[in-house]
Amino acid sequence: MKILLSADDIQRRVAEMARQIADDYRGQPVTIVGVLTGCLMFLADIVRHLDLPLRIALLQASSYRGEATAPGELRIQAERLPDLRGRHVLLLDDILDTGQTLAELRVYLRNLGVASLRVGVLLRKEGRQKTPVEVDYCGFDIPDAFVVGYGLDFNDEYRHLPYIAILNR
Ligand code: XMP
């Protein structure tokens, strides 16, 4: 597989993003809401750079099945979310592709009565967004290719790789 972003590239950028997030929140308590399963590595790495009063919560959103490249209906499983009313929430996802997932999650979280909502993604695919989603923090803009590693999977494989690679199909 062709490596698109090395482990060093990712670690450097994640640390930069964390600095920007810490500057923006200026010591305010933040609840990070990660989107499973792809956010695992990104979330785990970024929070270790964040010197803020922090809570971590997780939800699952799935629309992709295996190799599918077009989104289906989004299923949100949020049973394990704490009460987010009045909290400053930072939603973290692995990749912004068509935008459907983050657009729907944004509405979902706003309806829970959060005090503020920002969105951070590690990757944003160029030329793929169908639902416009403004993100507050973006690690890398990448070409339109199917990528795996650093949390991203193909049939639940490759998530453990410390780098991001283009999957050969
Ligand atoms: P949307 O289209 O809703 O998609 O923005 C976001 C979700 O789609 C998955 N996705 C990928 N997963 N490699 C992956 O492993 C990819 O290249 C890719 N593109 C989209 C991912 O779950 C993301 O949260």
> Rounded distance, CA 108 to CA 74, Å?
12
Q: Which of 97, 144, 153, 156 does the annotation list as catalytic?
A: 97
List pocket residues of ligand 1, CB cut-off 6 Å.
Answer: 38, 63-64, 71, 93-101, 146-148, 152-153
The whole-number pLDDT of residue 85 equals: 98
Best of 35, 97, 98, 131 for a ligand 1 pocket test (most atoms within 8 Å of beta carbon) = 97
Which domains, from first to last, does the chain contain?
Answer: 2-144 (3.40.50.2020)
Coil vs helix vs strand at 43: helix
**pTM for the predicted model, two decimal places:** 0.94
Best of 91, 94, 147 for a ligand 1 pocket test (most atoms within 8 Å of beta carbon) = 94
The helix (run of H) or strand (run of E) holding residue 117 is strand 116-125
Q: Judge contact between 53 and 26, C-beta under 8 A.
A: no
Q: Which of 125, 42, 131 is nearest to 90 (CA)?
A: 42
The whole-number pLDDT of residue 52 equals: 95
The whole-number pLDDT of residue 73 equals: 85
* SS (HEC) of 6-42: CHHHHHHHHHHHHHHHHHHHCCCCEEEEEEECCCHHH
Q: What is the pLDDT along the chain (169 residues), one digit of tens a residue?
A: 999 999 999 999 999 999 999 999 999 999 999 999 999 999 999 999 999 999 999 999 987 554 555 557 899 999 999 999 999 999 999 999 999 999 999 999 999 999 999 999 999 999 999 988 999 999 999 999 999 999 999 999 999 999 999 998 7
The whole-number pLDDT of residue 17 equals: 98
Which residue is listed with tokens 């983050």?
Answer: 102
Residue nearest atom 19 in ligand 1 by C-alpha distance:
97
Residue nearest atom 23 in ligand 1 by C-alpha distance:
95
